[in-house]
Structure 1
């Protein structure tokens, strides 16, 4: 069987490394940009949904969110109906750098897909979407404390 997940992992790690280097001047480190982008694109998202979206555990998400809040990129606001719920919003500082983060993501996407036809791009997208949905089931299963049988 082809090692497809190795290829996906190498691509993800390379792009993450590039982003971490390029965003260091913005004081964003170790994947913080992922959180900020998702918060900008989903104003009012709650921490648990954000962690699920990025596929990290709650503790990892909490640390990254706390750092972003301390740095002034995001803020937490109480929900109007349930004061226990904290919604996440980008601050003016976070919104100011979002276009740069978006351009970097668009550029990386363009570079990664260079030389592929529109049909090939659609095929890759749909196949990877199916692969991710398969993994989502496993991620959720393990996240709930279950063990997979190999």
Structure 2
């Protein structure tokens, strides 16, 4: 069995490292770009849903969001019906950097898929979606207190 997860990990860490270096100029620190993108894609998202999309625990997401809010990239607004619910939005500063982050993402996607045919791109997307679903079921299990059987 090929070590596919090792390759996926190298790709993910490489792209994350590149982004962290490039995004220093817009005052984003390690991994914060991911939150900005997901909030930009999902205005009004709540913490729990954001954490689930990114696949991290709520406490980690909450700390990252506090930093982003303190640095002026995001805003929390009360839900109109349930005031206890805080919805997340990009601030003006967040909206200004969002296109730059999206361009970097598009560039990284193009670089990663360079030299692949359209059929190969479709195939890799389908296969990685299956892998993601497989892993997400374990993530949900462990996140909710379950144990995987090896």
Instruction: Kindly report which structure 2 residues correspond to 1:48-59, keeping only aligned pairs within 5 A, or say none.
Output: 48-59=48-59
Residue-by-residue CA offset, 1:13-44 (whole Å, 9 max, x unaligned): 00000000000111111100000000011000
Distance in 1, matches of 2:103 and 2:25, equals: 16
Please say if 1:79 is aligned against 2:61.
no
In structure 2, what is the equivalent of residue 18 of structure 1?
18
Distance in 2, matches of 1:107 and 1:113, equals: 10
Which consecutive residues of structure 1, in runs of 5 or more, have no partner in the other structure? none
Look up the SS of the partner of 2:148 in the other structure.
coil
Number of equivalent positions: 150
Distance in 1, matches of 2:147 and 2:42, equals: 32
Instruction: Kindly report which structure 2 residues correspond to 1:30-69, keeping only aligned pairs within 5 A, or say none.
Output: 30-69=30-69
Q: CA RMSD in A?
A: 0.5
The Cα shift of 1:84 comes to 0.9
Which consecutive residues of structure 2, in runs of 5 or more, have no partner in the other structure? none
Runs of 4+ in 1 over 4 A off after TM superposition: none
